[in-house]
Amino acid sequence: MKKNKTQTPHLSQDNLNNEMMSFIANSPTPFHAVLNLQEILKVYQFSELKESEKWDLKQNGRYFVTKNDSSLAAFVVGNRPAQKSSFKIIGAHTDSPNLKVKPKPDKIFKNFHQLGVEVYGGVLLSTWFDRDLSLAGRVHFENKKGALQSALVDFKSAVAIIPSLAIHLNRTVNENQSINPQKELPPILLQIQDKNNDFRNILASKLSKDGYPVSKILDFELSFYDKNPPAFVGLHDDFIASARLDNLLSCFVAIKGLIASLDNKTAATKVMICQDHEEVGSCSHIGAEGPFLPSILERICFDRESFHQSIKNSIMISSDNAHGVHPNYAEKYDENHGPILNAGPVIKINANQRYATNSETASLFAKLCEDLKVPYQRFVVRADMGCGSTIGPLTSANVGLKVVDVGVPTFAMHSIRELCGGKDSVFLAEVFKSFYSREDL
Ligand code: CO
C-alpha cells in the first residue's frame, strides 16, 4: 500500500461510476459493449474505418475500427510523422464468463421447456442459481427478400431461471457442492402451452417484434445474463456490485481516459483496444493472439520499417481486474502482495510471465500514479499457487510491445455478481488520462 488510503479521486466519482454502471447494464454481451463504445466515440467525432478499405489518416485524426462486432480499437493519430511515430496503448477485453445457448437447445421435460447451455470461460457456476436471467447476443437470419442479415437482440426481461434443488432433497449440499454443467445448468424458459414452439420460433418472433424482417433464423450466439442491474453496496456505498466488472470496467475506464486526454495533442498515437475471447484463451481472429492490433498499428505507420521502429518506442497498459484480499480467505494471498479495495490500481507481476509487467514498465505506471498522488498497489500470487493471465503477455509476445499488466482489485471474479471499490475505477481513469496526455514518459 502507498500513500493515504482515504484519499479521494480528483475526477467526479459519482458521475464516472454511474455512467460505468449504466454502460455495463446495457452491455450484456461483447456485441452490445462494442456498440455502446462506438456510440460514445461518435459523440467525440471519432470516425469509423473499415478493415477492408484503404485508410487515409490525418494528423490528430480520431478513428475507430471494429471486428466481428465484438472487438474494437479506437485511436487518435499523433502529431509526429507516422514513420517516427510511437504508440501509447491501453488494452482490455470485452467478454465475460457466461452460459451460452447451444445451437439446438430445446429440452422438454414434464412440460418444462429448458435450454441446453455451454459454459463460456471460467464461470463460478454456483452463483448462477436462483437468478432472474435474461438472454442477449447476436442473431443471423434470412430476411424476407432472401438475403442474409444480422441483428443484436436483448430480451431484457427475466425470461429464464436455474432453480436450486431444495436443501431438504440434498442435505449435504453445504458441505460439498459440485455442479455438473450439462445436467444442472439448463435454465428453465417456460412451461409449455404449444409443443411446436421451439427456441428458434421464440427467437424469430422476438426479432419480428423488434422490427426485423425475419424469414428464417440461421444461427445465433446468445448468452444468459443476470437482469439485476449494477448497484452501490455497503453502508456508505463503498462498493459496486455488478456482473461483468471483469472486464467492462477496464473498457469503460479506458475510453474515459482516452476522451479526457483529447485536449492534449501528443506526438504519440493513442490507441485503445478492447478484444473478445480473453476468457477462452484469446486464440481467435478477434482475440489478442490474432492479427487485429498489429495490423492496425502497421497501417498507422507508412511501411513495415517504420512499424518496427515505432513498436520499439511504444508501450501498452493491459488492464484487467486483480484479486483484492478477501477478509474470509486471507490465507489465499501473499501477506505482502494482497491488494485492498479502494486503495488504488494494482500492478500485477508474475515471474513466470503470466503477466507481462517488468521493472521498466512497472516503474512507468508507478511514476504516473506518484505524480498524480494516486495510491497504487502490487499483486504477486502466493508462491505455492498458480496464476491467472490476461491479454498482456499474449499481446506483448505477438506484437513485440513492452507491457504493464494492471487492474482494479475486486472480489468474486467470474461470479455472476462481482464486487469492486467505488474509488478504484476513478483512480484508474486518472492514471489513464495522464498516460495518454504526457509527452515525457
Ligand atoms: Co478478465
User: How many whole angstroms from 132 Cα to the centroid of ligand 1?
Assistant: 24
Cβ neighbour number for residue 63 with a 10 Å cutoff: 19
pLDDT number for residue 85: 76
Give the pLDDT of residue 203: 96
For ligand 1, the distance from its centroid to the CA atom of residue 321, given in whole angstroms, is: 6
Mean of the pLDDT values across residues 435-441?
A: 92
- 225, 133 Cβ separation under 8 angstroms: yes
pLDDT(2) > 70:
no
Burial 127-156 (b: 16+ CB within 10 A, else e): bbbebebbbbbbbebeeeeeeebebbbbbe
Residues 6+ apart with CB under 8 A from 315: 87, 88, 89, 361, 364, 401, 402, 403, 404
Residue 91 C-alpha to ligand 1 middle, in angstroms? 11
What pLDDT does residue 8 have? 53
Q: What percent of the chain has pLDDT over 90?
A: 88
Distances (CA, A) of 87 to 83, 202, 311: 12, 47, 7
Give the per-residue pLDDT at 177. 84
Computed over every residue of the chain, the mean pLDDT equals 93
Band of the pLDDT at 194, cuts 50, 70, 90?
A: confident
Q: How confident is the model at residue 14 (pLDDT cuts 50, 70, 90)?
A: confident
Distance (Å) from CA 250 to ligand 1 centroid: 9
Query: What are the boundaries of each domain within the chain?
Result: 5-96+243-437, 98-226
Model confidence pLDDT, tens digit, residues 212-223: 999 999 999 999
Give the burial string for 161-185 (b: 16+ CB within 10 Å, else e). bbeeeeeeeeeeeeeeeeeeeeeeb
Average pLDDT for 323-336: 94
Q: How far is the CA of 218 from the centre of ligand 1 (A)?
A: 31
| CATH architecture, domain defined by 98-226 | Roll (2.30)
Residue 189 has pLDDT above 90, yes or no: no
Tell me the C-alpha distance between 223 and 327, whole Å.
Answer: 32
CA of 121 to the centre of ligand 1 (A): 10
- What confidence score (pLDDT) does residue 10 get? 56
Name the burial class of residue 58, with classes exposed (0-12), middle (13-18) and buried (19+) by CB atoms within 10 angstroms of its CB. Answer: exposed
Q: Ligand 1 centre from 35 Cα, in Å?
A: 20
Any idea which residue has 488520462 for its cell?
Answer: 433
Q: Answer yes or no: is pLDDT of 87 > 70.
A: yes
Q: Which pLDDT does position 268 carry in this prediction?
A: 95
The predicted pLDDT at position 9 comes to: 56
Contact 190, 113 (CB under 8 A): yes
Question: How much distance in Å is there from the Cα of 319 to the middle of ligand 1?
Answer: 8
Query: Given pLDDT bands bounded at 50, 70 and 90, which one contains residue 280?
Result: very high
- Supply the pLDDT for residue 7: 54
Predicted TM-score (pTM) of this structure: 0.95
The better pLDDT of the pair 193, 155 is held by 155
Distance 291 CA to ligand 1 centre (A): 20
Write the pLDDT tens digit of every residue in 22-46.
Answer: 999 999 999 999 999 999 999 999 9
203 or 6: which carries more pLDDT confidence?
203
Q: Lowest-confidence range among 29-33, 50-54, 396-400?
A: 396-400
Cα 427 to middle of ligand 1, angstroms: 19
257 pLDDT band (50/70/90 cuts)? very high
Q: How far is the CA of 322 from the centre of ligand 1 (A)?
A: 8
Distance CA(152)–CA(37), nearest Å, equals 15
Task: Please enumerate in sequence order all residues whose Cβ is within 8 A of that of 361, keeping only pairs 6 or more positions apart, or say none.
Answer: 315, 402, 403, 404
String of b and e for 255-282 (b: at least 16 CB within 10 Å)? bbbbbbbbeeebebbbbbbbbbbbbeeb
**pLDDT (0 to 100) of residue 6:** 46
More confident residue, 3 or 135: 135
> What is the model's pLDDT at position 80?
82
- pLDDT for 330 equals 92
Q: Which residue has the higher pLDDT, 352 or 2?
A: 352
- Centre of ligand 1 from the C-alpha of residue 429, in Å: 17
Distance (angstroms) between ligand 1 centre and the Cα of 184 equals: 25
Q: State which fold the 5-96+243-437 domain adopts.
A: Aminopeptidase (3.40.630)
Q: Given a cut of 80, is residue 274 above it in pLDDT?
A: yes
| Closest by Cα among 400, 92, 138 to 276 | 92
- List, for residues 97-107, the tens digit of each pLDDT value: 999 999 999 99
User: How close is the Cα of 414 to the center of ligand 1, in Å?
Assistant: 8
Q: Which residue has the higher pLDDT, 252 or 13?
A: 252
Q: How far is the CA of 37 from the centre of ligand 1 (A)?
A: 18
Is the sign of the CA dihedral 170, 172, 174, 176 positive or negative? Answer: negative
Q: Residue 5: pLDDT band by 50, 70, 90 thresholds?
A: very low
- Residue 82: band (very low, low, confident or very high) from pLDDT cuts 50, 70, 90: low
CA of 95 to the centre of ligand 1 (A): 8
Tens-place pLDDT, residues 126-144: 999 999 999 999 999 999 9
